[in-house]
Amino acid sequence: MNGPRPRVEGDWLFVPAPQEHRPYRLFCFPHAGGDATAFTRLAHRLAPAAEVWALRMPARGGRGRHPMPATFDLLVRTVVDVLRPHLGGRFGFYGQSFGSLLAYEVARALPEDRRPDAVVAASASPPDEWGGPPQPQRAAEDLLRLAGMGELIAAEPELRDMALRAIRADLAVLGTYRHHGAPPLGADLYAIAGDADPMLDPDRLAGWSRHTTGGFGLTVVRGGHLLATVEQPGPVDVLTSVIGRERARRGAPEGTPNFRSAA
């Protein structure tokens, strides 16, 4: 892949395909156990229209020795502080599974004038369907298998152990999440599901519409639970459309009505 070399911004952010002309910035939030490198192929496919900034979660990869914040609320506050210096210009959030919930709650926690144009939630139930006691440890094994990652690392015991540790760290912090029923987000919200996702019924994604007063769209694409991976770029066409729509709409005269539809 040609172009500028990838770079990291502090501990928390990875820019797989830097763009010199400062295009639309898309912040990507990985699935449980996932790392920022999962968005590398997506970053190259979205360039030059958008520049991907992927979240480098602790307790995995290059941050294996960095502890995960103790609670979901603390994780949200930490990510908000990390993102604040990088939120100039037009930008959006894209999350996968656990990352969708985190992206949504981070967007809500930001000041109103620093919130994303849009939040794209892939492979995730609506926020009011999350929460409860911590998952049993064996849930990490189930998640690894159902997410389609088991076969990829079956022959690499060390990679498998690292993946399980990362998943368990995320499930532990997820177990502290409670939906507080705060006012919904004002940004546009798009929900995406894979048509072969063994973990989520696409019909449940319509519930995301309750969590925004902005526009809403729902799309089912070909794929399983994880859409953007180290091997697959993910929902490039959907994200390209969302980015184009947001850039056009934000440039429209005041009074232009929001859309609210299920695509």
> pLDDT tens across 209-253, in order?
999 999 999 999 999 888 999 889 999 999 999 999 988 876 643
- Domain ranges in the chain are 7-250
How do beta strands 118-122 and 188-194 pair? Answer: parallel
Give the residue with greater pLDDT, 38 vs 142.
38
pLDDT at residue 155 in the model: 59
pLDDT given at position 261: 36
Is the previous residue joined to 157 through a cis bond, with omega within 30 degrees of 0?
A: no
Band the pLDDT of 258: cuts 50, 70, 90: very low
Sign of the four-CA dihedral 55, 57, 61, 64: positive
Q: Whole-angstrom Cα distance, residue 94 to residue 190?
A: 9
Q: CA-CA-CA-CA torsion for 215, 220, 226, 227, nearest 10 degrees? A: -80
User: DSSP character for 217?
Assistant: E
Banded model confidence at residue 153, pLDDT cuts 50, 70, 90: low
pLDDT greater at residue 163 or residue 58: 58
Q: Are 212 and 93 in contact (CB under 8 A)?
A: no
- CB count in 10 Å sphere of residue 62: 14
Q: What's the N-to-C CA distance of the chain in angstroms?
A: 32
pLDDT(68) > 90: yes
Write down the mean pLDDT value for the chain: 86
Q: What is the pTM of this model?
A: 0.88
Q: Class of the 7-250 domain?
A: alpha beta
Q: Is the pLDDT of residue 142 over 50?
A: yes
Question: Which pLDDT belongs to residue 199?
Answer: 84
Is pLDDT above 90 for 256? no
Cα–Cα nearest to 6, from 51, 59, 63: 51
Q: What is the pLDDT of residues 91-106, one digit of tens each?
A: 999 999 999 999 999 9
